[in-house]
Structure 1
Amino acid sequence: MTMMKSARIHEFGDASVIRYDDVPYPRPDFGEVLIRVAANSFNPTEAALRAGLLEAFLPVDLPYTLGWDVAGTVTEVGAGAEGFAVGDRVIGRLDGGGAAAEYVRAPASMLTAAPKSIPLTHAAALPVAGLTAWQAVFEHGKVATGQRVLVNGAGGGVGGFVTQLARYAGAEVIATAGPRSTEAVLQQGADHVIDYTARPVSTALDSPVDVLLNLVPVSSQDAVALVPLVRQGGRIVSITTLIEPPLDAGVSAMHMVARNDIADLRVLVELVDAGTVSVDISSSRPLSGLADVHNLSQAGRTRGKVLIIP
Structure 2
Amino acid sequence: MAMNLMRAVQYSKYGGGVAGLKHVEVPVPSPKKDEALIKVEAASINPIDWKIQNGIARPFLPRKFPHIPGTDVAGEIVQVGAGVNNFKAGDKVVAVLGNGGALAEFAVAHKDSTVLRPPEVSSADAAALPIAGLAAHQSLTKLAGLKLDGSGPPVNVLITAASGGVGTYAVQLAKLANVHVTATCGARNMELVRSLGADEPTFPGLPLRLTFTPKGKVVDTTPGFGTLMSVAAKKITFAKKQLLPLFTAVKQENLDYLVKLMQAGKLKSVIDSTHPLSKAEEAWAKSIDGHATGKILVEP
Fold match, TM over 0.5?
A: yes
* Displacement after TM superposition at 1:97 (Å): 0.5
SS at match of 1:295: helix
How far the C-alpha of 1:42 sits from its partner, in A, is 0.8
CA contact (8 A) 1:12 1:52 kept: yes
Equivalent in the alignment of 1:214: 220
Cα deviation for residue 231 of structure 1 reads: 5.5
Counterpart amino acid of residue 55 in structure 2: G
Aligned to 1:27, what secondary structure does the other structure show? Answer: coil
Contact 2:154–2:180 under 8 Å retained in 1: yes
Cα-Cα RMSD: 1.8
Q: What's 1:3 paired with?
A: 5
Q: Distance in 2 between matches of 1:226 and 1:80?
A: 54
Relative to structure 1, the CA distance from residue 45 to residue 95 in structure 2 (aligned partners, 3 Å threshold; closer, same or farther) is same
TM-score normalised per structure 1: 0.87
Partner of 2:293 in structure 1?
A: 303
Q: Which residue of 2 aligns with 1:29?
A: 32
Return closer, same or farther for 1:29/1:219 CA change in 2, 3 Å cut-off. Answer: closer
Could you tell me how far apart the structure 2 residues matched to 1:226 and 1:278 are? 32
Q: Which residue does the alignment assign to 2:209? A: 205
Tell me by how many angstroms 1:216 deviates. Answer: 2.1
Deviation by residue 1:199-246 (Cα, 9 ceiling, x = unmatched) = x14x222433600001125345324347844462x321122xxxxxxx
Contact 1:122 1:307 in 2 (8 A): no
1 CA distance for matches of 2:60 and 2:230?
Answer: 25
What per-residue deviation string (whole Å, max 9, x for no partner) do you get for residues 138-179 of structure 1? 111112441110001101010011001111011100000012
Q: Is structure 2 residue 248 aligned with structure 1 residue 258?
A: yes
Task: Say if 1:60 and 1:187 are closer, same or farther in 2 by CA, change over 3 A.
Answer: same
Contact 2:37 2:109 in 1 (8 A): yes
Quick one: percent identity of the two aligned structures? 31
Using a 3 Å threshold, how does the CA distance of structure 1 residues 86 and 206 change in structure 2: closer, same or farther?
Answer: closer
Unmatched 5+ stretches in structure 1: 240-256
Return 21-30 or 137-146, whichever deviates more: 137-146
User: Among 284, 287, 303, which residue is 2:274 paired with?
Assistant: 284
Listed as ranges, the gaps of 5+ residues in structure 2 are 147-151
Higher strand share: 1
Residue 292 of structure 1 aligns with an amino acid whose one-letter code is: E
Question: So what's the TM-score if we normalise by structure 2?
Answer: 0.90
Query: How far apart in 2 are the matches of 1:190 and 1:171?
Result: 10
Structure 1 residue matching 2:275: 3-state secondary structure: strand
Query: Which residue of 1 is the match for residue 149 of structure 2?
Result: none
